[in-house]
Amino acid sequence: MQKQSLKLLVIDDEEGIVEWVQKIYSRKGFKTFGATDGVSAVDIFKKERPEITLIDIHMPYSAIDGVETLERIKQIEKNALCIMVTRITDRDKVEASKRLGALHYITKPLEVEDLDRVVDEAKDLALKAKSKSRK
């Protein structure tokens, strides 16, 4: 993988998921950030402006859920590349996320292979956007 200092923000109310997704993608060359609730995630987003954000839709212990987190992030950066982590019973929330411009949806339980596929695609888009903005 070409070394790029792309930033990845992981938002999930399960600490273990945040910790290990960060570890896996740090090793792949990303600068990673993590949050276990929507409000602190939005603060991190404002400060760090990550190119890719992974958002768990269902966060029962967070003051704002994944959809509202996405909405706030899109208000800050409309081109933010956001991947939603969903479950089948979140159908309405998935539809709302689509309308808000989420890039992809993957379902729990997660597998690293599936995650790699969508993160790689987002990475390509982020690198293209970066090179365009340099021209």
Partner 1 sequence: MAKSLPNEAELYQKIKDEKIEIDSKIWALFYEHIGNAVTVINLISTYFLQSNNPLPIKMAKKILNYTRDINHTLDCILYPNENYLEDDLFKQLRKENVSLHPVIKEMLTHYVGNDVYGINLIIGDSLDPAAPQDVPLEHLPRVIEKTRSLRQFLDRLREATLKIAAF
By CB under 8 A, name the binding residues for partner 1: 14, 16-17, 20-21, 23-24, 27, 58, 60, 86-89, 91, 94, 105, 107-112
Contacts of 129 (CB under 8 A, 6+ apart): 51, 79
Nearer to partner 1, 2 or 88 (CB): 88
The residue written with tokens 């293209």 in the block is 128
Q: How far is the CB of 95 from partner 1 (least distance, A)?
A: 9
Nearer to partner 1, 3 or 61 (CB): 61
Is residue 6 a contact partner of residue 31, using CB atoms and an 8 Å limit? Answer: yes
Q: How far is the CB of 76 from partner 1 (least distance, A)?
A: 26
Q: How far is the CB of 132 from partner 1 (least distance, A)?
A: 30
Nearer to partner 1, 16 or 78 (CB): 16
Nearer to partner 1, 94 or 119 (CB): 94
Q: For residues 4 and 99, what is the distance between their CA atoms, to the nearest angstrom? A: 30
Burial of 77 (0-12, 13-18, 19+ CB in 10 A): middle
Please state the φ and ψ torsions of residue 29, each to the nearest 5 degrees.
100, 0
